[in-house]
Amino acid sequence: LEPIYVTTRLLELDAKRVRLQHSLHRRRDEALLATGKLLYAHVDTRVSRAAPFERSVHERLERLRAAHAASPG
């Protein structure tokens, strides 16, 4: 088996959704093997609808988004 690893970047964020990019790399030569962009919606399971993130969660995600936007890659 060949060692691989995944990196994740937070690309976009709004009140109810977050878009992430996952990248699969081969460890031996750092080759990029695959990427995927996914949109996740925060769902309130009590009403089965998209709902805003809690403020503290949104603030943490926004800090991550800003850090990812400022870094290369």
| pLDDT one-digit tens code per residue, 34-66 | 999 999 999 999 999 999 999 999 999 999 999
What was the pLDDT predicted at 72? 82
pTM for the predicted model, two decimal places: 0.87
- DSSP letter for 72, please: -
What was the pLDDT predicted at 59? 98
73 has a pLDDT exceeding 90: no
CA proximity to 12, closest of 58, 73, 72: 58
What was the pLDDT predicted at 55? 97
Q: Report the share of the chain in percent with pLDDT over 70.
A: 99
